[in-house]
Structure 1
């Protein structure tokens, strides 16, 4: 697959029963495989070293448990230091099919994307195989992710099957990215800050005897708070710090008018009902007009934001700069 150096990162934590099979199914297009032992209580790193025969495998040991995000970023650093061009991340629990790696790296090699991620919701026939609670949880998280990351055309944000160009990794603030289960969504937020192009890759998932550590009921509150934080940060960065447009005016004006209309109308409705009097036509008109105009401005901002999804891969510019330096 071209002359690109493709590496695979496999975070390893309590996946001793599956990790060797995952490694065995990785094709010859991959140059190096990094198994990151995230202070695994099963000592999966040592287990891999003792039993794997594949010379491409390198084991990275974290001194303390960092979570899936921290383990992935440790693998990213190792792969970039060894000269990788594209780095693929595959979970070690066997839910992902490593034979799909070619499909994940193809858009990056072709210059169509900077980052690709799996989407288990693409094939409607396969959605029925997903546990109902997980299906509902992913739908809610996907909606929140669209708002906070700016990638309105993506779905299944917690999908851990990903591929990224090494030049993009070099420009990511890895030390700021969430270490644990919010990692996949937080990296999308960081990628949007770089204006990176992200593409969904259709895939199926297997659900066998593996145990997922992601419990929707336990993380929904944490995820909600972090999504709200990232939404405010992304909006400020994109529409007030780096650039200003008509949308920069539409959002605050729309929110102010909507809140004023809603509060003003609600207050006078309460007063009228308490006194048994009908509110004046002017009061009703003012409340309704402010509320509707405010809502329209907010919708106009959302339409602009949806159309503002990055479309031009950033690593093209990085490659162009590198080629220019070589010929100087």
Structure 2
């Protein structure tokens, strides 16, 4: 238990036999439950999860319920998908179990041992103190936290972050692909969790879903941790799928927000800008074709001017959108004290 709240940690894993056991062992002792979810691995991940769980459950103290009595079940819970369903599906399985077990807060620490357990209190504090509903990690806003992240990966992360800002409405959110998160169970019960994307775009889809339910979000800066693990992302499939997801979510958000008076100016500017850019682009193509045949440069300039005006209207929509969502963004958890194992505010 952490500051009077029951805390669960979901550890999703797919082909992480070398790292998942270490990840489970690293979860701080104040976590009441650990849901280790094997998403249909083809290596020894499931065996490693079972062996680690057996050892920790035998060595650990008898679980204590929130009311001070004993609760049924082990601290480390092993869950297995018979087939690979996607990282989002694994996290959602853990979320459902946390809801069923009456937890208060659920964190996610991926089974690749890249998430430092010592900073977990910085994710939990904004939620248990009522300042935020969802806390997410941020490895890229501070240069000292980037660590060994490659320039290519950093560029891709920043680009996806900007696209996710536009798609989700959370304009201050950094490092959209960071899976180190924590969320209140109350928030999970309020959103259509079953509809959130099951694959690698889960994090991006989750942000849009949270925005449409007015969830408050905080960024938690932390250092990037990398070892010799390998990414399971196939970029030739990931990039097109995620691009389509982000665009659909952007349109979904505009449709839902169109009835909200505080968002209507942004929605109107976005719509006018998109329609104008579409017709402007078509007009520019016709103008270029005409100019090549007749050497009529004036038509090209008129088309480009219309396209530029439409783009400026779209950007005005982004500015209005950002202002409309300011109340949901709680900035950065920059005032979090350094983690001290002897004084982390937990309840024994």
The TM-score bracket by the shorter chain reads: 0.7 to 0.9
Shift of 1:258: 4.2
User: 5 Å matches for 1:13-32?
Assistant: 13-32=14-33
User: 5 Å matches for 1:58-77?
Assistant: 58-77=77-96
1:19-54 deviations in Å (ceiling 9; x for gaps): 232222222321111111223332233233343334
Q: Which residue of 1 aligns with 2:293?
A: 274
1:185 partner SS: helix
1:203-243 deviations in Å (ceiling 9; x for gaps): 11221122221243441111111111111111111125787
Rounded Cα–Cα distance in structure 1 between residues aligned with 2:277 and 2:128: 46
Shift of 1:126: 3.3
Rounded Cα–Cα distance in structure 2 between residues aligned with 1:286 and 1:212: 47
Q: Contact 1:9/1:76 (CA < 8 Å) preserved in 2?
A: yes
Q: Cα–Cα, structure 1 residues 256 and 124, in superposed 2: closer, same or farther, change >3 Å?
A: same
Q: Which residue of 1 aligns with 2:114?
A: 95
1:75-97 deviations in Å (ceiling 9; x for gaps): 11111111110000101111111
Q: Contact 1:37/1:62 (CA < 8 Å) preserved in 2?
A: yes
Shift of 1:266: 5.2
Q: Contact 2:291/2:300 (CA < 8 Å) preserved in 1?
A: no
2:327 partner SS: coil
Task: Report the TM-score when normalising by structure 2.
Answer: 0.80
User: 5 Å matches for 1:76-87?
Assistant: 76-87=95-106
Q: Cα–Cα, structure 1 residues 8 and 216, in superposed 2: closer, same or farther, change >3 Å?
A: same
The reply on whether 1:7 has 2:26 as its aligned counterpart is no
Rounded Cα–Cα distance in structure 1 between residues aligned with 2:98 and 2:168: 26
Rounded Cα–Cα distance in structure 1 between residues aligned with 2:282 and 2:202: 38
The reply on whether 1:229 has 2:248 as its aligned counterpart is yes
User: 5 Å matches for 1:1-328?
Assistant: 1-41=2-42, 42=44, 43=46, 44-52=48-56, 53-54=59-60, 56-240=75-259, 245-264=264-283, 267-268=286-287, 270-276=289-295, 279=298, 287=303, 290-309=306-325, 311-312=327-328
Rounded Cα–Cα distance in structure 1 between residues aligned with 2:28 and 2:276: 57
Task: Report the TM-score when normalising by structure 1.
Answer: 0.85
Rounded Cα–Cα distance in structure 2 between residues aligned with 1:211 and 1:159: 16
Rounded Cα–Cα distance in structure 2 between residues aligned with 1:171 and 1:158: 23
Q: Cα–Cα, structure 1 residues 240 and 17, in superposed 2: closer, same or farther, change >3 Å?
A: same
RMSD over equivalenced CA pairs, Å: 2.5
1:207 partner SS: coil
Q: Contact 1:240/1:248 (CA < 8 Å) preserved in 2?
A: no
1:94-117 deviations in Å (ceiling 9; x for gaps): 111111110001111121111011
Q: Cα–Cα, structure 1 residues 292 and 136, in superposed 2: closer, same or farther, change >3 Å?
A: closer
Q: Contact 1:148/1:230 (CA < 8 Å) preserved in 2?
A: yes
Q: Cα–Cα, structure 1 residues 105 and 296, in superposed 2: closer, same or farther, change >3 Å?
A: same
Which ranges of structure 2 fall in alignment gaps of 5 or more residues? 61-73, 330-348
Aligned length: 310
Rounded Cα–Cα distance in structure 2 between residues aligned with 1:174 and 1:262: 38
1:311 partner SS: helix
Q: Cα–Cα, structure 1 residues 248 and 275, in superposed 2: closer, same or farther, change >3 Å?
A: same
Shift of 1:119: 0.7
